[in-house]
Structure 1
């Protein structure tokens, strides 16, 4: 972000310090919360807007893509508007678009407002971190990063629980309305407490061509993934056009960014082997994790009879042990080769996900929740040391660009994985259904048993179809978990492409 004035004000102390810290932590908490609060709400949103569950996931992917696109712009926006003005303005806009999301009466308007909400929320994560480091004394910088990291870890846990509870006790619009009082309060208090820390503004030129190309290829690819199944993939001229736009846009973006003097995304940091290996690992691992996390509540609510609240509690289990072992992961990452920690953490996630690929339709709550609980042990050992390894691989002056690009890739991989998982889930369920139809009751014994028990032929066929559909979905869910687990294993092996780091990085710039 832009540098502060040379005559920077003194850090805050006492109650003022903690009040400002809570405002910044709450802002970060709210934005991260919104990446997961909609996960368990998709069936409710889809039902309320009369669309399919696969279309309902646009609510997740649109927010993630918009947020990812804004992250590389944060430095330029902070320099043009001022750090505090950008933070407060983003906060208020986030609250406004949250209200509009809750008032949306169709999927199209909801997705539009989710895009605007993501664009407003993108700068809030890096800005909250930057301002926390500015208001804390240097000797307490560790406490500032610890507070920011804890909100980043706790928010994804609370998202499914809060989303499920609000959907069951009120209605789905409240998952968005709840942001408004927090956004208004944080915006008002943030300006009162932080305006003395406003940075000088500069009229920097923005890489408009790079930004336009970025938006074209990312949006085209995401739309292609989201709409592909609905439009029968490449049988549709629209899907073909989107694929061509994504391919040409990506190629032009790469060429432009590598030759531009002040690129919107500094691709030159990929010349460092440790950095690109870290980004490859986090993209594969986070995509696997987020895709499975989106799938789980849809499966539980749609086919296992769970309410949104119950699905939220089950999904949130993965965060409990993650929060508890995060301090240990942070300590070990400065003493042990981070590649070993990342390998063990990601491989643990892969093994648990592979174990989950043996799920069945007669599982109880704890049979679903316990693997998710233990999966949380691997999360901090994957995320914390991997960030440090990536930052240690680049030059000090490249850290801000490298951190922004890593955040962009992580968020984008989650959005792409969500689309791929939901599309593959439907495709595999249809394939499994077709396969099982030929095997089901070929001798007619089951049908005769059902009709002999007093059921009509139509009812008996309905019972058999329901069983068939349930098993088709269960097989498809296990197949997706198996592929996700395999992706984790590949990600764990990819970290060994990185050389052993020669220094420990200051990860305070990594958002």
Structure 2
């Protein structure tokens, strides 16, 4: 085991270690929050600095690409800089980039700073989760994982309300400026309280530049392909080219990495059965977690017409439920086989997702309350046990690399899940609208009730069709209802995919709960 990655506290950690770890969690929270608060206010940013509407999505895309490239490099950077200095450097760079974003006056300047922001923020999540197993003994890891997990999944939940409030009350600049004070404080606290370890700069002498380029190219082209696939088509030449580049580059990277003694990313971790199962669960969680956080704002904004603040208020139900159930998850995680808890969590999460697949155009807070409660209660059981399965039995020296891969799988699952959701919404809305028109012309009262057609509108329409005035009045209702049905289908597909996590669990080896 490398001496610089020895667990900092083999027994009960002191309050000093807890303070340093919480500082890391705050930095991670700000990085995750940044993605969501910016997403809710893209139109405001677009108008403020005169960005073409078709370029607006790049503000998020470049951040996510830089983030996904940085995540698997966390292990290498930890070995070189040590956990303490990696975090301080990353959060410091994130603060500088946030200030740069706030001061940007044109599109290219903002994009450049977002790349820096995404790369620096990308290392923070795996660094925090690897810290759980490096800093703490077994009996404290469940609590530490819970603190990190609650903040990691709470940030996307509260992001819309914070972003909406900041934009409405102040200006879009504060979407970035809010990162500065917490970032500086967390950097200073981590520098003061995290343990001092010895880095291994020899890693830089053995750095495989070709592998680094291949990995970056594979992940970048995959992210771009997934972004473009729903609108351009999965079999369009552009998308197929991007996916082919990703596949070839990824295969070349994997082949080169497996043949080297000191690879950039240690892919051999996937030979560990429990790490493989835990990573598969992380991938599936990404589909369900990112998918639900994406689908709710889409419905509330485009179907119900709510603003970001109202959307955030509705989505707080999930976050509050998470906080309430977190102590229960910690207590059970200490005493129960993580395979059983994972099964409970993913089954419950899939049910909560499926409960949202029966919305109509008038669904709002009340209809979304109980599905959110079920999902919120399930999330910690989908995060804590798989994390222990994947990372809990590995030597401390292997945890940073493994944590990067584990968290990368969740992000890739989220990217694929959102691409699948967009594909369903884009491709299914039109045929569903046509089906609704056919049902209305046939005098189907259930279809009329779902659409919200005024009473008597379809009376006598069977065989005779609708008048032009009636068609004009019904068309917006039908289009909205078709969009709701497409969103419902997306909820159902995401629920089914999330339930597939149960298929992986029988392949995991038993893991004793921490004592």
TM-score normalised by the shorter chain: which range applies?
0.7 to 0.9
Unaligned runs of 5+ in 2: 458-466
Deviations 1:45-72 (CA, angstroms, capped at 9, x unpaired): 57764536xx766555543442232122
> Could you tell me how far apart the structure 2 residues matched to 1:171 and 1:269 are?
45
Match of 1:482 among 472, 479, 492: 492
> Could you tell me how far apart the structure 2 residues matched to 1:131 and 1:347 are?
29
Is contact 2:329-2:380 (8 Å) kept? yes
1:311: how far off? Answer: 0.8
Instruction: State how many pairs are aligned.
Output: 492
Partner of 1:51: 53
1:380: how far off? Answer: 1.2
> Could you tell me how far apart the structure 1 residues matched to 2:134 and 2:218 are?
36
> Could you tell me how far apart the structure 2 residues matched to 1:295 and 1:109 are?
30
1:358: how far off? Answer: 0.5
Partner of 1:166: 166
Change (3 A) 1:143 1:466: closer
Q: Does 1:238 align with 2:248?
A: no
TM-score (norm 1): 0.83
Change (3 A) 1:227 1:131: closer
1:148: how far off? Answer: 4.0
Change (3 A) 1:228 1:415: closer
> Could you tell me how far apart the structure 2 residues matched to 1:379 and 1:137 are?
24
Q: Does 1:203 align with 2:202?
A: yes
Match of 1:467 among 474, 477, 485: 477
Partner of 1:509: none
Partner of 2:342: 342
Is contact 1:217-1:250 (8 Å) kept? yes
Is contact 1:20-1:194 (8 Å) kept? yes
1:400: how far off? Answer: 3.5
1:391: how far off? Answer: 2.7
Deviations 1:101-131 (CA, angstroms, capped at 9, x unpaired): 3455677765554332120112233445677
Is contact 1:27-1:124 (8 Å) kept? yes
What RMSD over aligned residues (CA atoms) do the two structures have, in Å? 3.8
> Could you tell me how far apart the structure 2 residues matched to 1:135 and 1:304 are?
46
> Could you tell me how far apart the structure 2 residues matched to 1:233 and 1:76 are?
34
Question: Match of 2:336, SS?
Answer: coil
Unaligned runs of 5+ in 1: 451-456, 507-511
> Could you tell me how far apart the structure 1 residues matched to 2:249 and 2:441 are?
52
Q: Does 1:220 align with 2:221?
A: yes
Partner of 2:507: 497
1:194: how far off? Answer: 4.8
Is contact 2:126-2:407 (8 Å) kept? no
Is contact 2:133-2:392 (8 Å) kept? no
1:326: how far off? Answer: 2.0
Partner of 1:119: 119
Partner of 1:87: 87
TM-score (norm 2): 0.82
1:262: how far off? Answer: 1.5
1:233: how far off? Answer: 4.5
Question: Match of 1:34, SS?
Answer: helix
